[in-house]
Each structure stands twice: as structure tokens, then as C-alpha cells.
């Protein structure tokens, strides 16, 4: 004697069938909450997927060594022997030095020397590309031959600023007081935007043609991932044993990690807001269910009169609340996915929606619905049949 | 054999209203009984107690020979579902459900299969002459049709007793008479029927009329000796006193 399990959902939908409009509005509250939660999770995973891709490309085992400031706040320089010293640190795989030059890069000699277009002139060691994992978009990187000749490789931003979009027509640029041939354009280097707006010449050419004194300003050091910390701890003292405090050692990906930490805080905040929306949605369901129980007193009375037990009534109203919330949850999950898809399209990051977010969203909605249904269902079940029928 | 036996039944509501003050009634299998009385005389309370919708304050209720006065909710619910069919003045159909779904409802709580429920509900509707209105919603039916649906719902479980509380109270005279005819038909087929009514004509046409006043049985032909009863029946004058004229206001119970 009792209800068949398969009849329960049908029973739970009786109320919705009589008031579909109210069902939609009630479910909407939950839907907004779940949509917010799902979208926040989706957007943050999508951004993180993008971040991870960036991290993968760059590698977390790249260290950057720069000359900092001396005790008096003057710009310090790295000793000339620094690159050699660093190379002698056991685990270091590769290292490449760059030096900032004072010369300006111009499209032609008619352009004023002060119009640098914020392009840094750099001299680079031949290993730079491999050390950074950077790639050439067009043309080629400097080599033993070209590093002696007036040739230059442009970072992606620098090339754009100079108006050189391709190497067809063998473009030339004016550096110092002579023409340099552009032999290559780089792809953007992730996380090292300053290199994108630089132009690179070989060491020999820099010394011969641009008056470089041989002092490097920055070193890039690639280590095995396992010994990043070890190398990092000895880098400053190795580079400048006399004044290790004048050396700045950093890891470019740390900035990224910091950014992701900030993202995480924001995500937590948004999740909290979504949770509040869900709570409000749940209260909405409880509210509507309480009203529904009052309105349906006579239905409850009749059901009791024709054989429904208290438990049957409780099950009916709990099911109704659960179905309401599940409709909201499913709608919300869909809405949240659509929002995430829109975001990833707009931000050009890969769309990523963890299935657990969808499952969790619908599950949370179901939980909230059951919780919200407890009180009204209990009231409905406690209603004495004779009293329920007395109108 | 008695279907219902009430022994010194009292019911006092919270707040001290004494709806029933010691009622003894015995209703036999296959009887058709009208319960009449002025508003507040305890008619509806009596019917609800017989129908296990409420519990007495004191006294005993025996249904089918068993004392159910102290039974728990589960047991009473099962009893209501199987042994008793209710018909109400306000029909009390579920608006969201079609006629056949409404009629099938009692079977829902008895684990019967959906196809089986449907079959029996259709049969019950056909029995009350509504075989052509199976899929109409209550809002699409006339008052008389709604009450027929309610009667079909009451008989779908083949209960041992049908209890009707003012079944014609919301209907015009002609429709009311038709509904009473349905009850008569069920009675003729062997059902035990108990009807509360305000309608003197309807009451007058019943084989047995129990008068209630102030929570007590004022007159019940069954209390008289068998000879008197048969005399009463033979002269077709079952009502000894005219029924009080009163407003059928639906709030007849305390």
C-alpha cells in the first residue's frame, strides 16, 4: 500500500500544471542564482585555461636577471662577466643576455631622432630566442653571420609601429647613422611585452656600428623546472658578487600567477554573490510553496480523504519544490553556459566548462529546493484532513 | 451486519465547542441513510468521524466490526482510501487534472498501475453517466457533471460505504435530483450510502432519516422497535417532524 515511485514526479507536477506562469517565475529565481554560479565557474576556468596555455608556452622555469639600483638610487649595471658566471651555475640550461642601446630606430633619416616610437634598441645574444622559447613570424633570427652586419630583427610591436608588416621589398630602417636591413619579425613573446617593442641587432654590429660598451642590462636564464628555486637563490650573488643587492631576479610567470590569484579572489566574490542569489531563489521557492499549500488546502483535504497518508502529502510537496528548483537549476546551467560561451568568444579565450560545474549547479538547485520545500511540505502534511476540508 | 457503529461518541473542538454530545448510531450494510439537522447540529462532524477524517474526543467508532477510534494515521488513511468514498458539497476536484485523472486519484495511493487506474476510472465515470467527458477539466464541466466526477471518484475503489456531505447543496433542484438518482442507483447496486442534506424532499425520499440537533440524535427510526419502523415505512412518512428551514450556507459544521 502506497505510492509507486514512478507516480511521484507526476504527483509533484500537479501544482505546476495548474499554474505554469507561477512555476516559471519561481524557477527564475533559482535559475538566476545557478546561472551566476555556473557562469562564474565557467568564465574563470576559461580564463585559467588561457592562462595555463600562456604559462605552458612560456614555461615557469625562465628567470630574468636585471640590473637594479645601487645604494644611492642610481641605475646599476651588470658586470661584464655576468653571462659567463651564470652559465657556470650547474643546472642552468641556457642563458642569453640583452643590452639596451641608446640609438633610436627610425623608418628613415628624415625622421627626428627623438621620435623613437618607444621602440627600444637592443643587442641580443644569439641564444635569446631559444632561451625565451620565442618564435620568428617572418624571416629569420640573427646568426653568426648577420650579427656582424647592419641587420636588425624587430619585435612584433616594434614592427607594427614602424609600419613594417612584412619583409617583402626588403625593408630598411635607420639606426644611429646608417641603414639596417630588417631580416626578421618576431611573434609576440608572452609576458615579456618589452621585448615586443624592441629591435635587436647582433653584438658585433652593436659594438662596431652603434658604439655599445659591452655591458648587458638583462639576462634571461632557463633552468630545469626542478631547480628553479635553487638557481634563483644563487643568481644575484653569482651575477654581482660584490653587490648582490643591486641585482633584480624575477620570474615573469610570477606576475601571471599573481594575476590569477587576483582572479581567484574575484571568482570567490562572484561565487559568493551567486550563492546569495541562489539563497534568495530558495527563499522564493519556500515562499511560493507556503502560499501554494494555503491555496490548496482543499486539495490536500481531498487527497487525505481519498487515502493519502501524511507522508504522501509531504512527498508530493517536497517533490514539487524539488522539480521547481531543478527546472530553475537546469535553466540556470544553460544560461550560465551561454554567458560563458559569449565571454570566451568576446575575450578570445578557449571555452571551458567543467561538467562538475553543471552537475554541481543542478545539484545545488535540487538541494536548495528540497530545503525550501521542507517547511511547506511539513505544514501540508500536518494539516488535519477535516480542517483542510472546512472552507 | 453493521458497517458503522458509533458508541457514545462525543467531539469537542478546541475552544470548547461541543459538536457531538454522545451519539449512538448503527448503520447496516446496504442501507441508505439521510442525516438532517439545523446548522451547527453536528452533521458534518459526524460524517467526518464516520469517514475517519477526524478523531472523536470520546466514544468508539466501529467500522466493519473493528474499533478504529485509536488507529494511527497510516491505518486511517488506508481505511479512507479503500473502504470509504467521499462526496463533498464543493465537489473538491483538482482543477489541474482531467475528469478521468481526478477519478483515478484514490487508486494512486494504493499502488495500482497506471493503466489499471485509468481503466477503473473510465469504468467509474461510465457508471455515473460521464463516459463522454473523460478528458475534460473540472472548469469545463457543469456543476452536475462535476459532482458526477466526484461520485465516480468516491466509488472507484469500490468502498463499503459512500459518505456525501450536502452533495446537492451547490446544484439547482433538477440537477440535485439527478445526483440523488445516481446515489439511489449505487444503493440499488448494494452500496451503503450516507447523505447529509438540507433538502426536505430529498430527505423525505430516503428510507431512513437521522435527525441531529445540538450534537445529539433527536430522532432515528432505527431506535424505534422493528414494528414501528415497518409501520413508518409502510405509511411512507419517515419524517416525524418537519425539518427546520435553514439557509444552506455550506458552513454547517462547527
pLDDT digits (tens, 9 = 90+) for B100-140: 999 999 999 988 899 999 999 999 999 999 999 999 999 99
Q: A46: Cβ–Cβ under 8 A, 6 or more apart, which residues?
A: A340, A343, A344, A347, A349, A350, A351, A352, A353
pLDDT at A82 over 90: no
Interchain pair B114, A7: CB under 8 A: yes
Burial of A241 (0-12, 13-18, 19+ CB in 10 A): exposed
Residues B220 and B229: their CA atoms lie apart, in Å, by 10
Mutation target among B80, B108, B251 for the A interface, most CBs of A within 10 A: B108
Structure confidence at residue A243 (pLDDT): 76
Q: Which residue has the cell 511539513?
A: A378
Considering only the C-alpha atoms of chain A, give the largest distance between any 2 of them, rounded to a whole number of Å.
106
Which of B51, B78, B92 minimises the CB distance to A1?
B78
Structure confidence at residue A338 (pLDDT): 95
The residue among B26, B16, B13, B19 whose CA lies nearest residue B61 is B26
Q: Which of 2-41 (A) contact B at CB < 8 A?
A: 2-4, 7, 11, 14-15, 17-18
Q: B15: Cβ–Cβ under 8 A, 6 or more apart, which residues?
A: none
Grid coordinates representing A295?
Answer: 491555496
ipTM of the complex: 0.84
- Its pTM surpasses 0.90: no
Task: Report the run of H or E that residue B201 belongs to, with start and end.
Answer: helix B200-204
Residues A67 and A64: their CA atoms lie apart, in Å, by 10
Q: Does B237 touch chain A if contact means CB atoms closer than 8 Å?
A: no
Mutation target among B40, B53, B55, B102 for the A interface, most CBs of A within 10 A: B53
Structure confidence at residue B250 (pLDDT): 45
Q: Which residue has the cell 463516459?
A: B131
Top mean-pLDDT range of A186-195, A219-228, B51-60: B51-60
Q: What is the CA radius of gyration of chain A?
A: 34
In eight-state DSSP terms, residue B14 is T
The residue among A30, A35, A32 whose CA lies nearest residue A323 is A30
The residue among A361, A366, A368 whose CA lies nearest residue A39 is A361
**Other beta carbons less than 10 A from residue B100's beta carbon:** 22
Interchain pair B92, A4: CB under 8 A: no
Grid coordinates representing B33?
Answer: 441513510
Percent of chain B with pLDDT over 90: 65
pLDDT digits (tens, 9 = 90+) for A262-310: 777 888 888 888 888 888 888 988 998 999 899 899 899 999 999 999 9
Q: How confident is the model at residue B34 (pLDDT cuts 50, 70, 90)?
A: very high
Question: Residues B113, B116, B118, B119: what is their CA dihedral angle, to the nearest 10 degrees?
Answer: 180
**Count of CB pairs separated by less than 8 Å, A with B:** 91
Grid coordinates representing A171?
Answer: 625593408
Instruction: Calculate how close chain A gets to B80, using CA atoms only, in Å.
Output: 5
Which of B54, B78, B82 minimises the CB distance to A386?
B54
- Closest alpha carbon within chain A to B114: A7
Q: Which of 199-218 (A) contact B at CB < 8 A?
A: none
Interchain pair A3, B82: CB under 8 A: no
3-state secondary structure of B193: strand
Could you tell me where the DSSP H helices lie in B84-197? 99-108, 114-127, 143-155, 173-188
Which of A15, A18, A386 minimises the CB distance to B53?
A386
pLDDT digits (tens, 9 = 90+) for B85-100: 999 999 999 988 999 9
Instruction: Calculate how close chain A gets to B240, using CA atoms only, in Å.
Output: 31
pLDDT at A207 over 90: no
Which chain A residues are Cβ-neighbours of B109 within 8 angstroms? 1-3, 303, 306-309, 312
Is the Cβ–Cβ distance between B147 and B87 less than 8 Å? Answer: yes
- Three-state SS for chain A is CCCCHHHHHHHHCHHHHHCHHHHHHHHHHHHHHHHHHHHHHHHHHHHHHHHHHHHHHHCCCEEEEEECECCCCCECCCCCCHHHHHHCCCCCCEEEEEEEECCCEECCCCCCCCCCCCCEEEEECCCHHHHHCCCEEEECCCCCCHHHCCEEEECHHHHHHHCCCCCCCCCEEEECCEEEEEEEEECCCCCCHHHHCEEEECHHHHHHHHCCCCCCCEEEEECCHHHHHHHHHHHHHHHCCCCHHHEEEECHHHHHHHHHHHHHHHHHHHHHHHHHHHHHHHHHHHHHHHHHHHHCHHHHHHHHHCCCCHHHHHHHHHHHHHHHHHHHHHHHHHHHHHHHHHHHHHHCCCCCCCHHHHHHHHHHHHHHHHHHHHHHHHHHHHCCHHHHHCC
The residue among A110, A120, A291 whose CA lies nearest residue A192 is A120
Average pLDDT of every residue of chain B:
86
Structure confidence at residue B252 (pLDDT): 43
Instruction: Calculate how close chain A gets to B174, using CA atoms only, in Å.
Output: 26
Structure confidence at residue A73 (pLDDT): 66
Residues A229 and A59: their CA atoms lie apart, in Å, by 14
pLDDT digits (tens, 9 = 90+) for B169-202: 989 999 999 999 999 999 999 999 999 998 888 8
Q: How confident is the model at residue A43 (pLDDT cuts 50, 70, 90)?
A: confident
Interchain pair B110, A307: CB under 8 A: yes
Angle between helices A310-347 and B73-83 (to 10 degrees): 100
In eight-state DSSP terms, residue B249 is -
The residue among B190, B151, B196, B146 whose CA lies nearest residue B171 is B146
Structure confidence at residue A131 (pLDDT): 84
Q: Does B86 touch chain A if contact means CB atoms closer than 8 Å?
A: yes
pLDDT digits (tens, 9 = 90+) for A163-206: 888 888 888 888 878 888 888 898 888 777 788 888 888 888 88
Which chain B residues are Cβ-neighbours of A14 within 8 angstroms? 94, 96-97
Question: Residues A269, A275, A279, A281: what is their CA dihedral angle, to the nearest 10 degrees?
Answer: 110
Q: Does A382 touch chain B if contact means CB atoms closer than 8 Å?
A: no
Instruction: Calculate how close chain A gets to B192, using CA atoms only, in Å.
Output: 17
- Closest alpha carbon within chain B to A313: B109
Mutation target among A301, A302, A391 for the B interface, most CBs of B within 10 A: A302
The better pLDDT of the pair A77, B118 is held by: B118
pLDDT digits (tens, 9 = 90+) for B206-229: 999 999 999 999 888 877 554 444
In eight-state DSSP terms, residue B138 is G
Average pLDDT of the residues in B224-252: 49
Which of A133-147, A319-333, B47-61 has the lowest average pLDDT? A133-147
Instruction: Calculate how close chain B gets to A388, using CA atoms only, in Å.
Output: 10
Paired strand residues for A174: A106, A179
Q: How confident is the model at residue A95 (pLDDT cuts 50, 70, 90)?
A: confident
Beta-carbon-side half-sphere exposure of residue A158 (alpha carbons within 13 Å): 29
Residues A282 and A278: their CA atoms lie apart, in Å, by 6
Q: Which of 270-299 (A) contact B at CB < 8 A?
A: 298-299
Mutation target among A9, A23, A386 for the B interface, most CBs of B within 10 A: A386
Is the Cβ–Cβ distance between B36 and B243 less than 8 Å? Answer: yes
- Closest alpha carbon within chain A to B104: A306
Q: Does B140 touch chain A if contact means CB atoms closer than 8 Å?
A: no
Grid coordinates representing A339?
Answer: 554567458
Average pLDDT of the residues in A221-244: 80
Interchain pair B106, A306: CB under 8 A: yes
Amino acid at each position: 500500500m502506497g505510492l509507486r515511485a514512478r507516480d511521484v514526479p507526476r504527483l509533484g507536477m500537479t501544482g505546476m500544471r495548474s499554474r505554469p506562469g507561477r512555476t516559471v517565475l519561481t524557477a527564475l529565481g533559482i535559475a538566476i542564482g545557478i546561472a551566476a554560479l555556473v557562469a562564474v565557474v565557467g568564465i574563470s576556468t576559461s580564463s585559467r585555461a588561457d592562462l595555463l596555455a600562456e604559462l605552458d608556452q612560456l614555461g615557469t622555469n625562465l628567470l630574468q636577471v636585471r640590473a637594479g639600483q645601487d645604494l644611492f638610487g642610481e641605475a646599476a649595471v651588470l658586470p661584464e662577466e655576468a653571462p659567463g658566471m651564470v652559465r657556470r651555475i650547474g643546472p642552468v640550461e641556457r642563458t642569453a643576455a640583452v643590452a639596451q642601446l641608446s640609438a633610436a630606430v627610425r623608418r628613415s633619416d628624415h625622421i627626428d631622432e627623438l621620435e623613437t616610437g618607444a621602440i627600444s634598441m637592443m643587442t641580443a645574444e644569439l641564444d635569446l630566442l631559444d632561451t625565451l622559447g620565442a618564435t620568428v613570424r617572418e624571416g629569420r633570427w640573427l646568426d653568426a653571420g648577420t650579427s656582424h652586419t647592419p641587420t636588425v630583427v624587430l619585435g612584433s610591436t616594434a614592427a607594427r609601429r614602424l609600419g613594417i608588416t612584412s619583409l617583402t621589398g626588403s625593408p630598411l630602417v635607420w639606426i644611429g647613422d646608417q641603414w639596417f636591413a630588417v631580416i626578421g619579425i618576431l611573434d609576440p613573446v608572452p609576458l615579456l611585452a618589452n621585448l615586443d617593442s624592441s629591435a635587436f641587432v647582433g653584438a658585433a654590429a652593436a659594438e662596431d656600428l652603434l658604439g655599445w660598451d659591452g655591458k648587458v642590462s638583462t639576462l634571461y636564464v632557463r633552468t630545469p623546472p626542478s631547480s628553479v628555486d635553487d638557481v634563483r637563490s644563487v643568481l644575484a650573488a653569482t651575477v654581482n658578487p660584490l653587490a648582490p643587492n643591486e641585482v633584480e631576479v624575477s620570474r615573469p610567470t610570477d606576475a601571471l600567477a599573481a594575476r590569477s590569484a587576483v582572479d581567484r579572489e574575484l571568482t570567490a566574490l562572484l561565487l559568493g554573490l551567486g550563492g546569495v542569489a541562489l539563497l534568495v531563489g530558495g527563499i522564493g521557492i519556500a515562499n511560493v510553496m507556503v502560499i501554494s499549500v494555503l491555496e490548496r488546502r482543499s486539495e490536500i483535504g481531498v487527497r487525505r480523504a481519498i487515502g493519502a497518508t501524511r507522508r504522501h502529502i509531504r512527498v508530493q510537496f517536497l517533490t514539487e519544490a524539488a522539480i521547481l528548483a531543478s527546472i530553475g537549476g537546469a535553466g540556470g546551467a544553460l544560461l550560465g553556459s551561454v554567458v560563458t560561451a559569449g565571454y570566451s568568444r568576446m575575450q578570445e579565450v578557449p571555452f571551458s566548462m567543467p561538467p562538475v560545474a553543471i552537475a554541481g549547479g543542478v545539484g545545488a538547485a535540487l538541494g536548495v529546493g528540497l530545503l525550501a520545500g521542507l517547511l511547506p511540505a511539513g505544514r501540508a502534511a500536518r494539516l488535519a484532513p477535516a480542517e483542510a476540508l472546512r472552507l | 451486519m453493521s458497517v458503522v457503529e458509533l458508541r457514545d461518541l462525543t467531539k469537542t473542538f478546541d475552544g470548547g465547542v461541543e459538536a457531538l454530545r454522545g451519539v449512538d448510531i448503527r448503520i447496516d450494510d446496504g442501507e441508505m441513510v439521510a442525516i438532517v439537522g439545523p446548522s451547527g447540529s453536528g452533521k458534518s462532524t459526524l460524517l467526518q468521524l464516520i469517514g475517519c477524517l477526524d478523531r472523536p474526543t470520546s466514544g468508539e467508532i466501529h467500522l466493519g466490526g473493528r474499533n478504529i477510534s485509536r488507529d494511527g494515521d497510516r491505518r486511517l488513511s488506508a481505511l479512507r482510501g479503500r473502504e470509504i468514498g467521499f462526496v463533498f458539497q464543493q465537489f473538491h476536484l483538482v482543477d489541474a487534472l482531467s475528469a478521468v485523472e481526478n477519478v483515478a486519484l484514490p487508486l494512486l495511493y494504493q499502488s495500482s498501475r497506471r493503466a489499471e487506474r485509468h481503466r477503473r476510472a473510465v469504468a467509474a465515470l461510465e457508471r455515473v453517466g460521464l463516459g463522454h467527458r473523460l478528458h475534460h477539466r473540472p472548469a469545463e464541466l457543469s456543476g452536475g457533471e462535476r459532482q458526477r466526477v466526484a461520485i465516480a471518484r468516491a466509488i472507484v475503489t469500490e468502498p463499503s460505504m459512500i459518505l456525501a456531505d450536502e452533495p446537492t447543496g451547490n446544484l439547482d433542484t433538477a440537477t440535485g435530483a439527478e445526483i440523488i438518482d445516481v446515489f439511489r442507483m449505487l444503493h440499488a447496486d448494494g452500496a451503503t450510502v450516507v447523505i447529509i442534506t438540507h433538502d426536505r424532499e430529498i430527505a423525505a425520499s430516503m428510507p431512513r432519516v437521522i435527525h441531529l440537533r445540538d450534537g445529539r440524535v433527536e430522532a432515528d427510526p432505527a431506535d424505534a422497535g422493528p414494528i414501528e419502523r415497518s409501520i413508518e415505512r409502510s405509511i411512507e412518512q419517515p419524517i416525524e417532524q418537519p425539518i427546520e428551514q435553514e439557509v444552506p450556507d455550506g458552513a454547517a459544521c462547527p
